[in-house]
Amino acid sequence: MKSKLMNEKEFQIRNHRFIKKMGSDKKFKKITNSWIVESVKHEYSYHFRWFGIPIIQYPQDMIAYQEIIWQTKPDLIIETGIARGGSLIFSASLLEIIGRSQTLQCSFPLKQGVNKVLVRLKHVHVYDSSLTQLVFFFSYWQFFSHYLQSHY
C-alpha cells in the first residue's frame, strides 16, 4: 500500500518538530560535537568544491546558507577574507539563480581558476583590497555609491 505524500505545509510542520527535537537531544548534541572535533583533525571542510573551486565549508553549512539566501533573497552579499574563492562563487551563483544583483569580494588576490568561473557570473564585482583599512573603506564606498545610485 502506498503512503500519501505530505503537502508542503505538513512537511514543514513535521520537519520543524524534528528540528526542535534534535535541539533538545543531549545525546545527538554530544555525537555532533564529537564529529565536528574529529572532522577538524582531518580538515574535512577542505575537501569540497563549488564549480571546481575549493569552498572550505561544511556541506551542511552550504545548504543552510542556500536556504537563508533563498528565503531572504538579498540584493547584495559581501564576502571578506576569502581563502580560495569557492564561497564567493557559491554566493554569486545563488544570487544569479534568484535573479538578484551583486556579490562583493574584498580580500587578497583571487586564486588561479576563480576568474574563469567569475566571468560567467554577471553579478560579481571584485575589489581587491588587502593593503590597508583605508583602501577597504574607499573600495566599499566606491561600490556602495555605485550600488545606491543604480538601485535607489
The pTM of the whole model exceeds 0.85: no
**pLDDT, position 125:** 63
**pLDDT, position 31:** 96
Q: Coil, strand, or helix at residue 89?
A: helix
**pLDDT, position 57:** 92
**Domain range 45-151, CATH class:** alpha beta
Q: Do 53 and 84 meet the contact criterion of CB atoms below 8 Å apart?
A: yes
Q: Are strands 76-80 and 53-54 parallel, antiparallel or unpaired?
A: unpaired
**pLDDT, position 61:** 94
pLDDT block averages, 10 residues each, the chain of length 152:
84 94 94 95 94 90 94 82 79 83 58 67 60 58 68 63
Spell out the domain ranges in the chain: 45-151
Distance CA(27)–CA(32), nearest Å, equals 9
**pLDDT, position 100:** 72
